Amino acid sequence: MLHIVNKSPLERNALYSCLAAAQPGAAVLLIEDGVYAATRGNAAEGKLRAASERLEIYVLAPDLEARGMAQSLADGVKTTDYAGFVELVTKHKNCQSWL
């Protein structure tokens, strides 16, 4: 399953709910303000690092760049572009958006 999170972990708890529900082998894609979770020093960094042992963690690079955070990407997080976003959607049978 592909889990898509678009809210900052400072704004909502969608990311934490997602990480708790995601099964091993699933992928998490952080988009829009959700990309803040993928930055070094963010409150969610430790949880993402721990989750990356059982989940694939991605961040949408254009959204990260638009927020000026491209140089602050946390370890264990992979970047993808819009074409990669489409590939992730087609690779996974189901998608869950976390609001």
Q: What is the distance in angstroms between the CA of the first residue and the CA of the last residue of the chain?
A: 16
- How many of the other CB atoms lie within 10 Å of CB of 95? 13
Q: What is the pLDDT of residues 63-85, one digit of tens each?
A: 999 999 999 999 889 999 999 99
| Residue ranges of domains in the chain | 2-98
Contacts of 91 (CB under 8 A, 6+ apart): 2, 27
Give the DSSP letter string of 9-58: TTT-SHHHHHHHHPPTT-EEEE-GGGGGGGBTT-TTHHHHHHHTTTSEEE
Q: What is the pLDDT of residues 41-60, one digit of tens each?
A: 998 999 999 999 999 999 99
Q: What is the pLDDT of residues 5-27, one digit of tens each?
A: 999 999 999 999 999 999 999 99
Predicted model pTM: 0.95
Tell me which of 3.40.50.300, 3.50.50.60, 3.40.50.1950, 3.40.1260.10 is the CATH number of domain 2-98: 3.40.1260.10
